Amino acid sequence: MAEFNIQSDSVDVTRIMEQIRQRIREKRGRDYTEQQIRELATVKLERFLDPQQVRSDLVEHYRQLEPPAALEPIRYERPGPAPEPFDFDEHTIYASSRGTMGKLIRLIRKLLNPILKLFLNPTPVVFALSRQAEINAWTLQLLQQQTDLAERVTKQFERAGAKFAAREELDALNYEVLNNLVVEMTRLSVDMKNHRSLVESVAGRLDFDERRARALESVVQHRSPQPSPGEDGERASSTASGRTRRRRRRPRRRPGAATTADDGTNNDTATAAGTPSETAPTAPPPDTATRPVGTTVPDAVPPRHYGATPPPAPVVEPSAPPPETTPPPPSAASSPDPEPPTPAVPPVADAGAPDPPPTPQTSGQQRDAPAPATAPATETVAPTSPTGDASTDEQ
Amino acid sequence: MKLAVIVQRYGAELNGGAELHARYVAEHLARHAEVEVLTTCATDYITWRNELDPGVERVNGVPVRRFPVSRERNVDEFGRRSVQVFEEPHSVAAELAWLRSEGPTSPSLINHLRRRGDAYDYCLFFSYRYYHAYHGIRVTGPRAVLVPTAERDPALGLGIFGGSFRGVRALMYNSHEERALISAISNNDAVPGVVVGIGSEVPAHPEPQRFRQTTGIEGPVLIYVGRIDENKGCHELFDYFQRYARLSPQLTLVLIGNPVMPIPTHSRIRHLGYVTDQEKFDAMAAADLLVMPSHYESLSMVTLEAWALGRPVLANGRCDVLCGQCIRSNGGLYYENYEEFAETLHSIVSNSTLRDALGMNGRAYFNTHYTWPVIERKYLDMLDRLEREDAAQVTRPEPLPIWGRRRRNLPPGRQVVDRLPTGPAARADGTRPTGRSAGNS
């Protein structure tokens, strides 16, 4: 119930009432009458298709709600035979059934008729009785027709009753079908939700694999054209000895960087963390293909494990929480690096390190995530970006 | 100037609308003229039983001459004749029989007017529909002034009353709607008439705090004053209020008046019964607004009293008079169904600016039109005008037909009234308010 803007010195009741009535119409949505609104409310209460509102005993429920009224059978009993019509004419009042004696009696009556007419006039009586006889015959015929009609109507009612009974059975079947449909719909709804989660999980993993494969391809293309003889011999000897030797590169030192550890462990950790000091440019420089192996390439991706196939990403349940990202070392983060920070693109994951699991997300998040069409592929490979800027791309 | 005020009942204890109206007018006109009240010995408007002594007495300084009622009302007969003349085609004789059965039948009062009517300069008849007014107007002729107090009820559609409206010297209407109604049904535009109404004695300084302390009622208050009767729309009021109370449980409905119907048991409905005038005005002053749910009112005095106290009014919009008064005064809102009841009630209760503005407008409307000096002046001006005009030009009430009185050629009274235009009357500036169904028939 909203308020009015009332100017105390100029209240117009008519205008206020118009506002009130307009607001009531808006509340109703349309100009429904009270009766229409009640009908709509009644319809809304019958929410058959809401799975949560449907009971398993739906059919029994409706049978209890609307029990079929027991119809009283129409008992029609045909009346007995109609009485024989009595033929009446002007001679009937003089007639006698005594044979010859009757003829004499009739003659005497005829002779005494003028005397009778002195007391009363039998002619109208005879006329009325004759007409009544005709009416009786006509009524009898009409009753006969009505009786036939009643029999036909009774048969029609019996047929209609049979149809109603069949209809009730059909209604029960309809309710059963409806109940089954609702149950199936509920099941499908649950299945659809499960499949949606599964598809999202698979899509995340596929996306991650594609990005990793793209990164690997760029590294392989970068190294494979000019393999050095020494390296081939070394790899052959290693193969012959039955174990793979890991080629480690010392990361480029930067002024002020507190990198004191010389062993590969620290370097690997730092690399895996994707610190800004070890990030690579988005694309290899044009002379990378001709540069001899072992030479330091500034801001280039350290080619690691190019001879070894990275292990497949472990299957992670969609509900598993994403691993915590390793924060960059404080020294590296706070080092006064004169170079501008490069994008947080880590190198290809170490063979020994587990792949970052894809974080399950909803399809809505995927739709909402910006997808730069012109960005290089390497820019999107940032599974462990500490800033979280590339998290949506990762997902 | 000597005036006679003729009314069906009269007394200081009677609180009926027309009777109270007549008493107030008589007492105030007594300051300017010699006034005598002619009435019956009855006090009960249902039976018209003679309960007071005939003769002359003084009530608040005004002489009152009482005449006995010759026959009490037979309720069954009255009901049967009412159905006959209201719902069926009927004859003039049937209407006259209905009038006798309605009462109060007092031939002695009419005989007094016939014999001694010349002693009065003017006879003010109150309530057109009773025996005394119908026959008294025909006896007094050019001295008759009618205060019809007409409502939109089927009795107005009876054919015998058209002559009463056309055959008096003047008509003192209660409202513009009443005037429009009577004009439409009797075509009496030639008869002088003025919308007067009635004033009210409202205390200058009511004490709302006294009411709060006495009753212990807190929070906003909606008040109803009057007979608690289904015919007054109280059943609908109770229904609407109980539905509204589920949404706004702070509001209290206070009822003042004698109940003739059961009052629902509800925590927010308080019935105070019959109270004194001072308590009534304290309660009205303490209330946020007055509700008037009646469908049929010729003039609601309690509505005017609420406006005099600066309280807004929520009226039934189906009553043309109340709706028209709300529109003309800008002192109240009106409703026709529950949704409008809830919206208008909430608007007034929750919006103090609107409430105060409506109350101020109502008070200004009362001060302009319904204070006693204004009412007295209108009566005196009308009587002065009648003094100046030639009484010989006044149309006498047309005599009833001698032959054909039993011919059933009159339409049902309800049918006649239903054909009349509905809605609030035109404003003073001539514009038609866009109310409920202005102009609809």
- Give the 3-state secondary structure of chain A: CCCCCCCCCCCCHHHHHHHHHHHHHHHHCCCCCHHHHHHHHHHHHCCCCCCCCCCCCHHHHHHHHCCCCCCCCCCCCCCCCCCCCCCCCCCHHHCCCCHHHHHHHHHHHHHCHHHHHHHCCHHHHHHHHHHHHHHHHHHHHHHHHHHHHHHHHHHHHHHHHHHHHHHHHHHHHHHHHHHHHHHHHHHHHHHHHHHHHHHHHHHHHHHHHHHHHHHHHHHHHHHCCCCCHHHHHHHHHHHHCCCCCCCCCCCCCCCCCCCCCCCHHHHHHHHHHCCHHHCCCCCCCCCHHHCCCCCCCCCCCCCCCCCCCCCCCCCCCCCCCCCCCCCCCHHHHHCCCCCCCCCCCCCCCCCCCCCCCCCCCCHHHHHHCCCCCCCCHHHHCCCCCCCCCCHHHHC
Look at A11 and B333 and tell me if their CB atoms are within 8 Å: no
**Sorting pLDDT into bands at 50, 70 and 90, what band is B99?**
very high
Residue A16 is predicted with a pLDDT of 92
Residue A124 is predicted with a pLDDT of 87
Tell me the two tokens of residue A383. 């599974």
| Range from A176-180, A288-292, A391-395 carrying the lowest mean pLDDT | A391-395
Mutate which of A7, A12, A13, A34 to test chain B, going by most B C-beta atoms within 10 A?
Answer: A13
Residues in A closer than 8 angstroms to B342, CB to CB, are 1
Tell me the two tokens of residue B290. 């007055």
At A185-208, the pLDDT tens digits run: 777 888 888 899 899 989 999 999
Instruction: Average the pLDDT over B357-363 and give the result.
Output: 94
List B58's β-bridge partners, or say none.
B63
Look at B347 and A4 and tell me if their CB atoms are within 8 Å: yes
What domains can be seen in chain B, in order of their start residue? 2-199+372-418 (3.40.50.2000), 208-369 (3.40.50.2000)
pLDDT beyond 70 at A234:
no
d(CA B80, CA B67): 27
Name the one residue in this structure whose structure tokens are 């420089």.
A285
Name the one residue in this structure whose structure tokens are 């694309």.
A283
Percent above pLDDT 90 for chain A: 7
| Range from A22-26, A29-33, A85-89, B68-72 carrying the lowest mean pLDDT | A29-33
**CB of B340 less than 8 A from some CB of A:** yes
**CB of B347 less than 8 A from some CB of A:** yes
d(CA B24, CA A294): 121
**Sorting pLDDT into bands at 50, 70 and 90, what band is B138?**
very high
Q: Which residue, among B71, B65, B42, has the nearest Cα to B116 in the 3D structure?
A: B65
Tell me which range, A183-197, A214-228, B150-164, is most confidently predicted by mean pLDDT: B150-164
List B254's β-bridge partners, or say none.
B223, B270
Percent above pLDDT 70 for chain B: 95
pLDDT beyond 70 at B210:
yes
Q: Which residue, among B304, B286, B74, has the nearest Cα to B201 in the 3D structure?
A: B304
Q: Regarding beta strands B55-59 and B62-67, do their DSSP bridges make them parallel or antiparallel, or are they unpaired? A: antiparallel
Residue A247 is predicted with a pLDDT of 52
d(CA A393, CA A372): 10
At A241-278, the pLDDT tens digits run: 444 445 555 555 554 444 333 343 334 433 333 333 33
Q: How many CB atoms lie within 10 A of CB A189?
A: 11
Residue B246 is predicted with a pLDDT of 87
Mutate which of B307, B325, B361 to test chain A, going by most A C-beta atoms within 10 A?
Answer: B361
Task: Say what the pTM is.
Answer: 0.54
What does each C-alpha distance from B405 to A53, B78, B96, B160, B416 come to in angstroms? 71, 20, 10, 11, 19
Residues in B closer than 8 angstroms to A24, CB to CB, are 339-340, 343
Residue B426 is predicted with a pLDDT of 57
Residues in A closer than 8 angstroms to B354, CB to CB, are 4, 6, 11, 16
d(CA B371, CA B367): 5
d(CA B168, CA B136): 10
Residue A41 is predicted with a pLDDT of 53
Q: Which residue of A has its CA nearest to B327?
A: A13
**CB of A31 less than 8 A from some CB of B:** no
Q: What are phi and psi of B394, to 5 degrees?
A: -75, 135
Q: Give A4→chain B minimum CA distance, Å.
A: 8
A13, A20, A34 ranked by CB distance to B326: nearest: A13
pLDDT beyond 50 at A279:
no
By the 8 A CB rule, do A13 and B333 touch? yes
Task: Determine the distance from the C-alpha atom of residue A370 to the mean position of all C-alpha atoms in its chain, rounded to a whole number.
Answer: 28
**CB of A8 less than 8 A from some CB of B:** yes
At B264-293, the pLDDT tens digits run: 999 999 999 888 889 999 999 999 999 999
Q: Which residue of A has its CA nearest to B344?
A: A20
Look at B337 and A34 and tell me if their CB atoms are within 8 Å: yes
In terms of residues, how long is chain B? 441
Q: Which residue, among B295, B339, B291, has the nearest Cα to B315 in the 3D structure?
A: B291
- Judged by DSSP in three states, B178 sits in helix
Region of residue A236 (left: phi > 0; alpha: psi -120 to 50; beta: else): alpha
d(CA B336, CA B224): 17
d(CA A3, CA B105): 55
- Judged by DSSP in three states, B50 sits in strand
For residue B293, whether the previous peptide bond is cis, meaning omega lies within 30 degrees of 0, is no
Tell me the two tokens of residue B339. 């949704």
**CB of B348 less than 8 A from some CB of A:** no
Q: Give B95→chain A minimum CA distance, Å.
A: 40
d(CA B422, CA B204): 37
At B67-86, the pLDDT tens digits run: 999 999 999 999 999 999 99
Look at A1 and B332 and tell me if their CB atoms are within 8 Å: no
**Sorting pLDDT into bands at 50, 70 and 90, what band is A69?**
low
At A315-369, the pLDDT tens digits run: 444 443 444 333 444 333 333 343 434 333 333 333 334 344 444 443 333 433 3
**CB of A34 less than 8 A from some CB of B:** yes
Q: How many CB atoms lie within 10 A of CB B276?
A: 8
| The one-letter amino acid at A32 | Y
Residues in A closer than 8 angstroms to B327, CB to CB, are 13-14
Residue A184 is predicted with a pLDDT of 76
Look at B435 and A8 and tell me if their CB atoms are within 8 Å: no
Would you say the C-alpha torsion B289, B294, B295, B298 has a positive or negative sign? Answer: negative
At A126-164, the pLDDT tens digits run: 888 888 888 888 998 898 899 889 889 989 988 998 998
**CB of A35 less than 8 A from some CB of B:** no
pLDDT beyond 70 at A94:
yes
**Sorting pLDDT into bands at 50, 70 and 90, what band is A71?**
low
**CB of B426 less than 8 A from some CB of A:** no
pLDDT beyond 50 at A377:
no
In terms of residues, how long is chain A? 395
Half-sphere exposure of B212 (CA within 13 A, CB side): 12
Look at B347 and A14 and tell me if their CB atoms are within 8 Å: no
What is the separation, in whole angstroms, between the first and last Cα of chain A? 47
B340, B358, B435 ranked by CB distance to A14: nearest: B435
User: Which residues, at least 6 apart from A118, have a Cβ–Cβ distance to it below 8 Å?
Assistant: none
d(CA A389, CA A164): 70
Tell me which range, A42-56, A278-292, B284-298, is most confidently predicted by mean pLDDT: B284-298
Name the one residue in this structure whose structure tokens are 């109208």.
A124
Q: Give A21→chain B minimum CA distance, Å.
A: 7
List B40's β-bridge partners, or say none.
B67
Q: What are phi and psi of B324, to 5 degrees?
A: -65, -40
**CB of B357 less than 8 A from some CB of A:** yes
Residue with more model confidence, A316 or A113: A113
d(CA A138, CA A85): 10
Percent above pLDDT 70 for chain A: 41
Instruction: Average the pLDDT over A105-117 and give the result.
Output: 89
**CB of A18 less than 8 A from some CB of B:** yes
Burial B341-365 (b: 16+ CB within 10 A, else e): bbbbbbbbbbbeebbebbbbbbbeb
B330, B344, B346 ranked by CB distance to A11: nearest: B330
Residue B101 is predicted with a pLDDT of 94
Name the one residue in this structure whose structure tokens are 């012109």.
A374
Give me chain A's average pLDDT, please.
61
A3, A14, A24 ranked by CB distance to B327: nearest: A14
| Range from A59-73, A100-114, B33-47 carrying the lowest mean pLDDT | A59-73
pLDDT beyond 90 at B173:
yes
CB pairs under 8 A between A and B: 60
Give me chain B's average pLDDT, please.
89
Residue A86 is predicted with a pLDDT of 75
Burial class (CB in 10 A: 0-12, 13-18, 19+), A262: exposed
Q: Give A44→chain B minimum CA distance, Å.
A: 21
User: Which residues, at least 6 apart from A146, have a Cβ–Cβ distance to it below 8 Å?
Assistant: none
pLDDT beyond 60 at A301:
no
Q: Which residue, among B220, B233, B227, B222, has the nearest Cα to B337 in the 3D structure?
A: B233
**CB of B337 less than 8 A from some CB of A:** yes
Look at B334 and A17 and tell me if their CB atoms are within 8 Å: yes
